[in-house]
């Protein structure tokens, strides 16, 4: 199908452009900061060098030598390269996952200082928590929304709408704080911090992970499911008002088929894509939720890098990986839409 | 089927209970349809034509409800059917319908074939090749290629879509096929072709048909009988050629005079002054009297009776004396 | 053919009437008005807060981690209020002793006693005693120290929470504990004891394990041997409360109510700037795109699609980290990127309106493009844009709060996010300081609820199709 092929290609190009823009911003800011850091380091080294010079030299010789040493170091650090060259180099490095080394001496518990290693150490836990939450919330939300649409206008439906609106206005991580306050502090049911991760193996390990995951998972699901259900409900009710649903009913199609066939299949593309998109949008919130629960994922790593270590390479790495995940997810949502909806065309409005 | 009456509607009233009041979209409507015959229904926008069609399918959309009267369809009392038996016994098998506004009548995510086969599958238990054979037969009838079968609705032109919908309506050979403004969404050329096809189809088939339109000129050619509706009432009912030639009700007269004719000067085209009434609060007496040139004393007080004038039923005070 | 001011006025009036019928919307709108009023009154309601938030001196007289005053109504037990004594109750000139009488009738006694003593003396050193005489006759000697005099004056500060104060308290408790458990070789250590309560605790077997408030009259006695005169200004005692103010205090004594007021102000400022700018840019962009159509529209939409693909969160993290931790950078990023979704909605709606005959009619009558846009499209699209733009405000404010928690709080302003970030930093959750978490978060929730319900109500007013839902 040429129309949908064109759609897919254009979307992919969009994704690459977005990634490029963000990486360029990263590189721009990084090069600037890296220069300043390098200047500091050079100043230190020059001072040490000056201290180690033989004392019998004249003042003139000394400053001559120091000047030469400074120039040598600046050359090594590439300080005099044109700015665009630095930015370009950094852009390319970032694209190819050469994200540099962490400033931290602990490596945040990873096996070496490379940013990629450190991120590899933390990323799986974020993915574990986040995708589990996403799957539960999307399935539950769509189910609830569908039921609500079928009883539209009743008390149950209204209660769900209010729940959806209320939770949609809550910051996820704040709810996490309340959850800790209630379930860890007051009731003592769960450990307040997910960190350190269990060290046992086998069954005990999984049990430990599950116990630690319970509260953050419940928080993410609680905050997102109402909005998901509400959005689903609205899409389904608006489709239920469409003429073709009436026509389907007139044709004597069983109500079950009208709902789960005609309605849901039509509603699926916007429901699924908007679910994915809103989950992507909540990446930030989820990372902060990790901080609140001390869940040792990307958010936790980010905060540690910002707060405790001021570790530019790691922060840049996290920003890049997050962007990459976002762009891929966004593209996936687009593709899924194109796959689910036979009508897609380039520039076609998504019916949301 | 001969001359047997297959559809007998008596004193049918359907109202919408909205927050702004009760919309009396259909009030005390009676008519009959004989097997294989066709009835045209005409009237301005909002006079209750579609509501009548939905009532026949027992599919009035909430907040609407049939409040009174009976619909006898070949011995079956439609108004008494519950939702489930309406689905299993009535819809599409006895009465099928081509909905108004054909552009959105097909579910966008199913292929044409899927949607055509649905009634066969769910109501007659016919699937697979057998179902396709039947569909093919009716696609032929509306002059469409079987190749369209695997397309999605958005890949069809408006005219193609409308033909498919008509074919689908004929699929189960129902007693009555309702066509609710089957051509409004189409341009004039396509409209003419579809009407032509319908005329031919009507000759081939022996279903009863109900044509709904606001365009009287079409009905004179295509329908045996004609019902003119105004504000929820049938104001004139009878043989369509007769009415067209010699309309009795002042409203019908106006309606016919308003039809543009090729040989008549455009300037002299008549129009009906005023607008149709709000159906939440229709005028007392005759509902047409505020716009009627012949209105007199009784018109704004008493609801007119139906009079048989030369075999045509007219609901108008003008014929009070003559009838008695 | 043009829309006159009267028409707009009429339209606005009828919309207002329609809006008033929306219950949720009215509740939300009242919340916004409330927050707005608080923000406008912030210089009077909460003076000296903004720039002083991180200055411990500003909050010195407050209790640490005190619950809000209304905690007594919703939670079991009564809490000691904050009690500052500028004047002593008794002065005994023969021994130069001053006394402060404290009536403890609370289940949760004062969290701390801070004593400031200053005075004049002609000696070079004086000896200072501070002790607490309890209702049960027990006497805890907290201070027995010689203080040197410089220039004839001295000033001395003692707190139960100082290490000396904690030592004395613990020793007192440990002694009592030993009376009940003479054989206990491992009594609870200092860190695990609720030490601030021990001086006010009943002498029973639970004094270290789970102290219970001993109610009655306490007397705090200060004796300065060798002093000539106490200085009335510099001599005062703080019986620091377990409850304080409308919103309590954090663990650094900051009055949360004052911070809250400024939090509301900054929330409205950053949200307001972002939503206003987004509405304007989106209107301009969306309408231009819709009005010209064709390839202009095509290019503008392609560009917007790319913008829509840019994730805002990583950009915020990186810029705020690299350029500066400032809410204005956050605002700038949102001004640059915030309008894109709105522009898409506006364009879709604009195209619909363009198809409405009268815009075409206006065009054919020779109105210029700009005129058509300002006279016909803006009046129709503006309400839409406002309804949608309202929804952006909570989004931005919550983003600011989240970034604060990540360690990117702007140190020059007080926001709800900064308060929450501090709550997280100082472990308010696992210390049970619920008010510190609940109240700033409630601000975010109120703001979110207010703008979302208002926006939705507006949406319903301007978009009748949605009313059926
Ligand atoms: N779902 C509904 N709720 C409330 N009122 C309705 C509803 N559907 C139709 N009506 C009202 O009932 C009256 C008749 O409507 P109906 O659709 O039957 O008119 P129509 O003759 O088919 O008009 P048109 O030629 O425009 O299709 C109108 O006044 C309409 O406003
Ligand atoms: Mg109709």
- Give chain A's domain count: 1
* List of chain B residues whose C-beta atoms are within 8 Å of the C-beta of residue A252: 87-88, 91-93, 119, 122-123
pLDDT, position C68: 94
Confirm whether the ipTM is greater than 0.85: yes
Strand B64-73 with C112-120, pairing: unpaired
Distance of residue C252 Cα from the nearest chain A Cα, in angstroms: 19
Does the pLDDT value for residue C468 go beyond 50?
A: no
DSSP states along C276-321: HHHHHHHHHHHHHHHHH-HHHHHHHHHHHHHHHTS-HHHHHHHHHH
Per the CB < 8 A criterion, the answer to whether A313 and A118 are in contact is: no
Backbone angles phi, psi at C255, to 5 degrees: -75, 110
Q: Which domains does chain C have, with CATH numbers?
A: 5-56+255-467 (1.10.3720.10), 70-240 (2.60.120)
Q: pLDDT per residue over C123-138, tens digit each?
A: 889 999 999 999 998 8
Pick the atom of ligand 1 nearest to B53's CA.
18
Q: Is the dihedral of CA A151, A156, A158, A163 positive or negative?
A: negative
Query: How does pLDDT run across B43-58, given as a tens digit for each residue?
Result: 888 889 999 999 999 9
Taking a C-beta distance cutoff of 8 angstroms, is the pair C247, C423 a contact?
A: no
Q: Which one-letter DSSP state was computed for residue C243? A: B
Instruction: Please tell me if residue C317 touches chain A, with a CB cutoff of 8 Å.
Output: yes
The set of protein residues with a Cβ atom below 6 angstroms from ligand 1 is B 16, 18, 23, 25, 43, 45-51, 61, 63-64, 100, 214, 279
Place of tokens 């509301």: C264
Closest by CA to A144, choosing from A238, A249, A242, A221, is A221
Could you tell me the residue range of the domain that residue A226 belongs to? 117-310
Domain assignment present for A199: yes
Of A18, A169, A241, the CB nearest to C309: A18
**What structural domains does chain B harbor?**
5-94+174-319 (3.40.50.300)
Task: Tell me the pLDDT tens digit for each residue of C368-425.
Answer: 666 666 667 777 788 888 888 888 999 999 999 999 999 999 999 999 999 999 999 9
Residue A301's CATH number = 1.10.3720.10
pLDDT number for residue C450? 92
Positive or negative torsion for Cα C7, C13, C19, C25 = positive
Q: What is the pLDDT of residue C369?
A: 64
pLDDT tens by residue, chain A, 352 residues: 566 778 888 889 989 999 999 899 888 888 888 888 788 888 888 888 888 878 787 888 888 888 888 888 888 877 788 888 888 888 888 888 888 888 888 888 888 889 999 999 999 999 999 999 999 999 999 999 999 998 888 899 889 888 888 887 789 999 999 999 999 888 888 877 766 777 777 788 888 888 888 899 999 999 999 999 999 998 999 898 888 998 999 998 998 899 889 999 999 888 888 888 888 888 888 899 999 999 999 999 999 999 877 788 899 999 999 999 999 999 998 888 888 888 775 444 433 3
Q: How far, rounded to the nearest angstrom, does the alpha carbon of residue C315 sit from its chain's CA centroid?
A: 26
Q: 3-state class of C112 per DSSP? A: strand
Residue A31, in any domain of the structure? no
Cβ B254 vs Cβ B67: under 8 Å: no
Give the pLDDT score at A65.
Answer: 85
Name the pTM for this structure.
0.82
Query: Is residue A59 included in any domain, yes or no?
Result: no
What residue of B is the nearest CA neighbor of A262? B107
- Which ligand places an atom closest to the C-alpha of B44? 1
Interface size, chain A vs chain B, as Cβ–Cβ contacts under 8 Å: 73
Chain A interface test: which of C342, C345, C406 (most A C-beta within 10 Å): C406
List chain B pLDDT tens, one digit each, 324 residues: 456 888 999 999 999 998 888 899 999 999 999 888 889 999 888 889 999 999 999 989 888 999 999 999 988 899 998 988 889 888 999 999 998 865 688 898 899 999 999 999 999 898 889 999 999 998 988 888 888 888 998 888 888 888 898 899 988 889 899 998 887 767 777 777 888 888 888 878 888 899 998 777 778 778 889 999 999 999 999 998 888 888 889 889 888 887 766 555 555 556 677 777 888 888 888 999 888 888 888 888 888 888 888 888 999 888 876 544
């Amino acid at each position: 199908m040429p129309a949908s092929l064109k759609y897919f290609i254009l979307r992919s190009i969009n994704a690459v452009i977005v990634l490029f823009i963000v990486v360029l911003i990263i590189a721009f800011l990084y090069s600037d900061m890296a220069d300043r850091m390098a200047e500091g380091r050079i100043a230190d080294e020059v001072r040490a060098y000056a201290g180690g010079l033989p004392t019998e030299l004249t003042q003139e010789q000394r400053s001559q030598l120091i000047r030469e040493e400074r120039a040598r170091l600046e050359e090594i650090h590439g300080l005099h390269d044109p700015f665009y060259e630095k930015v370009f180099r950094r852009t390319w490095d970032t694209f190819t996952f050469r994200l540099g080394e962490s400033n931290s001496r602990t490596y945040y518990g990873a096996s070496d200082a490379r940013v990629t290693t450190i991120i590899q150490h933390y990323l799986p836990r974020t993915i574990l928590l986040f995708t589990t939450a996403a799957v539960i919330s999307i399935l539950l939300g769509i189910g609830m929304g569908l039921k609500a649409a079928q009883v539209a206008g009743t008390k149950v439906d209204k209660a769900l709408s209010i729940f959806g609106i209320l939770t949609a206005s809550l910051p996820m991580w704040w709810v996490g704080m309340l959850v800790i306050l209630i379930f860890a502090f007051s009731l003592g049911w769960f450990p307040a911090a997910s960190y350190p991760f269990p060290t046992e193996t086998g069954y005990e390990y999984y049990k430990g992970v599950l116990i630690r995951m319970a509260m953050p998972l419940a928080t993410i699901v609680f905050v997102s499911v109402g909005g998901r259900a509400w959005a689903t409900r609205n899409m389904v009710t608006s489709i239920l008002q469409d003429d073709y649903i009436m026509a389907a009913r007139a044709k004597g199609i069983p109500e079950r088929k009208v709902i789960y066939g005609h309605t849901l299949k039509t509603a699926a593309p916007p429901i699924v894509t908007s679910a994915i998109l809103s989950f992507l949008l909540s990446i930030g919130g989820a990372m902060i939720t990790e901080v609140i629960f001390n869940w040792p994922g990307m958010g936790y790593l980010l905060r540690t890098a910002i707060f405790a270590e001021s570790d530019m390479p790691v922060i840049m790495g996290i920003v890049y990986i997050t962007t990459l995940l976002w762009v891929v997810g966004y593209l996936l949502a687009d593709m899924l839409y194109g796959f689910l909806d036979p009508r897609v065309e380039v520039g076609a409005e998504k019916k949301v | 089927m001969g001359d047997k009456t297959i559809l007998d509607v008596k004193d049918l009233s359907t109202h919408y209970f909205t927050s702004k009041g009760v919309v009396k979209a259909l009030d005390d409507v009676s008519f009959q349809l004989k097997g294989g015959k066709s009835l045209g229904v005409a009237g301005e926008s909002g006079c209750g034509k579609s509501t009548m069609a939905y009532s026949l399918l027992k599919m009035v959309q909430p907040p609407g409800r049939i409040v009174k009267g009976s619909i006898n369809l070949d011995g079956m009392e439609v108004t008494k059917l519950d939702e489930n038996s309406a689905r299993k016994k009535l819809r599409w098998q006895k009465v099928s319908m081509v909905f108004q506004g054909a552009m959105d009548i097909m579910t966008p995510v199913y292929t044409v074939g899927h949607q055509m086969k649905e009634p066969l599958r769910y109501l007659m238990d016919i699937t697979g090749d057998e179902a396709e054979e039947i569909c093919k037969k009716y696609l032929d009838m509306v002059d469409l290629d079987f190749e369209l079968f695997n397309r999605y609705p958005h890949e069809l032109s408006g005219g193609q879509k409308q033909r498919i919908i008509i074919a689908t309506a004929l699929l189960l050979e129902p007693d009555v096929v309702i066509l609710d403004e089957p051509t409004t969404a189409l341009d004039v050329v396509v409209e003419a072709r579809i009407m032509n096809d319908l005329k031919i189809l009507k000759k081939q088939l022996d279903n009863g048909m109900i044509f709904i339109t606001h365009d009287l000129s079409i009905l004179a050619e295509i329908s045996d009988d004609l019902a003119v509706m105004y504000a929820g009432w049938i104001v004139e009912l009878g043989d369509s050629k007769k009415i067209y030639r010699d309309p009795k009700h002042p409203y019908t007269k106006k309606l016919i005079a308003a039809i543009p004719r090729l040989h008549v000067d455009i300037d002299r085209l008549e129009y009906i002054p005023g607008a149709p009434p709000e159906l939440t609060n229709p005028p007392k007496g005759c509902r047409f009297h505020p716009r009627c040139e012949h209105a007199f004393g009784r018109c704004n007080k008493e609801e007119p009776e139906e009079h048989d004038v030369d075999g045509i039923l007219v609901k108008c005070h003008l014929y009070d004396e003559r009838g008695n | 053919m043009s829309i006159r001011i009267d028409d707009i006025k009429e339209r606005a009036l009828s919309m207002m009437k329609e809006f008033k019928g929306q219950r949720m919307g009215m509740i939300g709108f009242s919340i916004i008005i409330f927050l707005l009023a608080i923000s406008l009154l912030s210089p009077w309601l909460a003076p000296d807060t903004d720039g002083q938030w991180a200055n411990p001196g500003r909050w010195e007289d407050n209790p640490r981690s005190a619950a809000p005053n209304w905690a007594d109504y919703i939670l079991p037990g009564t809490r000691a209020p904050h009690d500052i004594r500028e004047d002593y109750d008794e002065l005994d000139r023969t021994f130069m002793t001053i006394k402060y009488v404290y009536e403890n009738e609370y289940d949760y006694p004062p969290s701390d006693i801070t004593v400031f003593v200053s005075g004049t003396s002609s000696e070079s050193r004086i000896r200072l005693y501070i002790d607490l005489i309890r209702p049960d006759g027990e006497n805890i000697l907290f201070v027995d120290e010689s203080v040197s005099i410089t220039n004839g004056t001295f000033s001395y500060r003692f707190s139960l929470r100082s290490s000396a104060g904690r030592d004395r308290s613990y020793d007192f408790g440990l002694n009592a504990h030993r009376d009940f458990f003479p054989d206990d070789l491992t009594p609870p250590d200092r860190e695990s004891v609720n030490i601030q309560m021990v001086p006010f605790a009943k002498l029973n077997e639970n004094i270290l394990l789970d102290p219970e408030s001993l109610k009655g009259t306490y007397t705090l006695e200060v004796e300065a041997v060798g002093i000539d005169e106490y200085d009335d200004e510099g001599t005062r005692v703080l019986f620091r409360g377990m409850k304080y103010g409308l919103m309590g205090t954090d663990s650094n004594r900051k009055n949360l109510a004052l911070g809250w007021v400024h939090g509301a102000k900054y929330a409205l400022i950053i949200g307001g700037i972002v939503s206003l700018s987004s509405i304007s840019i989106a209107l301009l962009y969306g309408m231009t795109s819709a009005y010209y159509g064709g390839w202009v529209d095509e290019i503008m939409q392609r560009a917007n699609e790319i913008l829509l693909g840019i994730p805002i969160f990583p950009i915020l993290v990186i810029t705020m980290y690299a350029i500066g931790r400032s809410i204005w950078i956050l605002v700038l990023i949102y001004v640059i990127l915030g309008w894109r979704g709105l522009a898409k909605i506006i364009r879709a709606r604009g195209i619909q309106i363009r198809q409405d005959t009268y815009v075409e009619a206006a065009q054919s009558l020779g109105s210029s493009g700009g005129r058509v846009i300002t006279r016909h499209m803006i009046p129709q699209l503006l309400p839409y844009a406002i309804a949608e733009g309202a929804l952006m405000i909570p989004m931005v404010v919550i983003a600011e709060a989240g970034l604060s928690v990540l360690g990117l709080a702007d140190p020059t302003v007080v926001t709800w996010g900064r308060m929450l970030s501090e709550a997280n930093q100082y472990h308010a959750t696992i210390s049970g300081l619920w008010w510190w978490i609940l109240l700033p978060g409630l601000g975010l929730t109120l703001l979110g609820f207010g703008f979302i319900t208002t926006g939705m109500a507006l949406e319903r007013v301007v978009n009748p199709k949605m009313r059926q839902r």
